[in-house]
Every structure is written in structure tokens, then in C-alpha cells.
Amino acid sequence: MIVIDNLTVAYGSVQALTGVSLEIGANEFVSIIGPNGAGKTTLLKSISNVVPWQSGDIRVDGTSIRGREGWDIARLGISHVPEGRRVFGQMTVEDNLKIGAMSSRVDMAQIQGIYDLFPHLAARKHARAITLSGGEQQMLAIGRALMSRPRLLMLDEPSMGLAPLLVEQVFHHIGELFKSSSLSVLLIEQRATEALEASQRSYVLEQGRVVISGPSAKLLNDPAIQSSYLGITAKG
Ligand code: ATP
């Protein structure tokens, strides 16, 4: 569905991505893990065309998206939940969901579908978003992104700043969402264990380059990944 082909991105003299190639298939759950500053967020921003790329290409269904506007990328079925759970704090939960729809006609059945997926939101539908917990705000940000009926949901560090119990809850919901839909998911995470457990395939980014990729279950058992990313050291 999406092919990233030899992508290179720089911010002035800072090289953020160098020759990155990867693919996300239809109804596939792919994660990207890697340390701080590895280029994970830049990769998502490149797909959303928030940052321009110097060379290489990104193709959706075989067509380059170079130079396309954000709304046009969304129209292709790509939805981006940025880092930091950006919700409209003074608006109610339900109004946040309504503005996620790309149409002015609100489909209440669709909103009910989001509530079925995230029961915590249903219970707080008339509350202002700012009063929600961090985990609930993350679910609202994901729910709002789903309102545009995407084919690919891109999640940038959904665990960031959440207490461990809430991280578990958010990952549980993301897993359920993937299982119950025909969505593709591209997840960016520093929490490597959770990301590898949730996804089918993964790429490891280091200093803007893909250094390892493969089935997530295989990477979870790879001693090099375990010692570098999962905090597991080999027994002597
Ligand atoms: P983190 O997990 O900390 O968000 P990341 O893997 O998402 O890290 P990026 O945020 O994509 O990494 O950053 C990749 C590199 O690009 C880093 O060296 C970072 O300092 C640099 N960078 C990111 N955004 C900018 C910017 N707006 N201007 C200049 N340099 C930037």
C-alpha cells in the first residue's frame, strides 16, 4: 500500500533520514523502533508531507505523493496521530470526534463505533477534553483520527508521558482496533517491547538509517535487539 523508497530528509545541515526504504501492506501492523533522535517522527512527517524530502520517493498505491497537500494525503486514507495527544481541550469529547470527520454531515453510527471501541470515551462524551486523563486523551486523539475513515493510521509515540497501566490500556485498544478492522497501522515507539509485541513487522531506525527489519516476533527474540532495545542481557 505504501512504499518508501530510498528516502533522504534533512533539516538544514542536520541529516534526519538517509536512504530509508520500507513498506506497509494493506491490513498490516508495522512498527518503527529506535532511540531518541533516530528519525522516527521525521518519517511520519514525511508521509504526511509536513516535512519535504531531499531525495527518494513515497508512493501510495504506486503513485508518488511528492508535493501533495495535507488534506490530499488525508483523502488518500492516511491519518496521522501526532506525538503529544493534541485534542481540543475546551471542546467536549463528542465535538472533538465530530471535527475529525472529513464531511460536515455527522455520522452518529460512526461515533457510536468509536465509543464501542473506547468505552472510556462513551462515559465521558459530554466532558471537556482537557478534563480527561492522559490515556483517555490518547484514545480521543486516535478516535478523532479514525473519524476520517483512514486506510492507514499512523501513531507517533502513543505511550509518551503515560503511566504504565495506561500504556498497557492504550496498547490493548490499539491491538483490538487493528484486529477488528481492515486498517493498516504504522506505529512509532520508543517502548520497543510493547511495539514489537503489538505489531507484525518492525524496522529499527538508528541515526536516520534502517539497521534491522523483520517479523516482530523474530526481533523480540533477537539477542542484539534484546540487549540494545529491550533491556535484556544474555545470561553468561
Ligand atoms: P524522538 O523519539 O526524540 O522524537 P525521533 O526518532 O522521532 O526522536 P526525529 O524527531 O525525527 O527523531 O529527529 C531526527 C533528527 O532530526 C534529530 O537529530 C533531531 O534533532 C533532528 N530534528 C528533528 N526536527 C528538527 C527540526 N525541526 N529542526 C532541526 N532538526 C530537527
Atom of ligand 1 nearest to the CA of 41: 7
Tell whether ligand 1 has an atom less than 6 A from the beta carbon of residue 201. Answer: no
- Do 56 and 119 lie in a common domain? no
Instruction: Give residue 217's pLDDT.
Output: 95
Q: Are 213 and 30 in contact (CB under 8 A)?
A: no
Q: Name the DSSP class of 211.
A: E
Helix (H) or strand (E) run with residue 119 in it: helix 119-123
Centre of ligand 1 to C-alpha 15, Å, is 9
Q: How far apart are CA 3 and CA 64, in angstroms?
A: 9
- Residues in CB range of 29: below 8 A, 6 or more apart: 178, 184, 185, 187, 198, 199, 200, 201
- Whether 159 maps to a domain, the answer reads no
Q: What are the cell numbers at 135?
A: 490515556
Percent of the chain with pLDDT over 90: 56
- Do 20 and 49 lie in a common domain? yes
pLDDT(156) > 50: yes
Distances (CA, A) of 142 to 108, 114, 146, 153, 155: 17, 9, 6, 9, 8
- Do 91 and 121 lie in a common domain? yes
Domain harbouring 222, CATH code: 3.40.50.300
pLDDT confidence bin for 4, thresholds 50/70/90: very high
Q: How far apart are CA 58 and CA 65, in angstroms?
A: 6
pLDDT(236) > 50: no
How many residues are given for the chain?
236
Q: What are the cell numbers at 140?
A: 480521543
- Do 41 and 112 lie in a common domain? no
pLDDT(235) > 60: no
- Whether 43 maps to a domain, the answer reads yes
- Do 64 and 126 lie in a common domain? no
Centre of ligand 1 to C-alpha 47, Å, is 15
Q: What is the pLDDT of residues 192-215, one digit of tens each?
A: 889 999 999 999 999 999 999 999
pLDDT confidence bin for 234, thresholds 50/70/90: low
pTM above 0.85, yes or no: yes
- Do 73 and 173 lie in a common domain? yes
Tell whether ligand 1 has an atom less than 6 A from the beta carbon of residue 84. Answer: no
Mean pLDDT of the chain: 89
- Do 176 and 61 lie in a common domain? yes
Name the residue range of residue 62's domain: 1-77+150-154+168-188+217-236
- Do 69 and 181 lie in a common domain? yes
